[in-house]
Amino acid sequence: MKIGVLSFHGDFAEHISVLTALKVQSMEVRTLEDLEQVDRLIIPGGESTVIAKFLQMTGMDRVIRKRVAKGKLAVYGTCAGAILVAAKAKGKNAPSSLGLINIVVERNAYGSQMQSFEAALKVKGIAESVNGSFIRAPIITKAGRGVEVLSMHDGKPVLVRQGRVLAGTFHPETRGEIAIHKLFLSL
């Protein structure tokens, strides 16, 4: 198993650090050739419109969709990554999403950088609370058919799964939290 972290923009280094702590083989993904070498991909937080443009310019968007549809790639999107894997993204300047998981996400719904916060989250299948950082985080406004809600915060889904696609509106990696990455490795 080789895990790739999309490493064009955002907090990819923190994800690599968590994967290193878990002692799993990982690599930075910057090209189509890199993408072809991995069987799991993390799309990190950052600016969703910038990441979406990069995926479109490189053709990675099409390859990701195709490989997920064939069951050849598992994907975990955090924050901006959750926006990108969604079926639909809403909000000002919402990017084109990849349509990998049947959710609707609203960008920057928790507000500005100043309104960012941390929370201890209960996650289905994980005994201990998980620390999550919500940094200009999106909100999942709808989890459709086939989507399993794994964690909620203030009555809203914050971690969801459909098949081999995981989407979280929070950042576990900024605190070195490993439980969600372990969950992703099990998909």
79 is catalytic: yes
Active-site position among 14, 15, 79, 177: 79
- DSSP line for 99-138: --EEEEEETTTT-SGGG-EEEEEEETTEEEEEEEEESS--
d(C-alpha 98, C-alpha 110), whole Å = 22
Active-site position among 15, 153, 171, 181: 171
Please give the distance of CA 72 from its chain centroid, rounded to a whole number. Answer: 17
Q: What is the largest CA-CA distance in the chain?
A: 41
Please provide residue 155's backbone torsions phi and psi, each rounded to the nearest 5 degrees: 80, 5
d(C-alpha 46, C-alpha 9), whole Å = 6
Active-site position among 14, 106, 173, 177: 173
Tokens standing for residue 93: 């300047």
- Residues comprising the chain, all counted: 187
* Residues classed as catalytic: 79, 171, 173
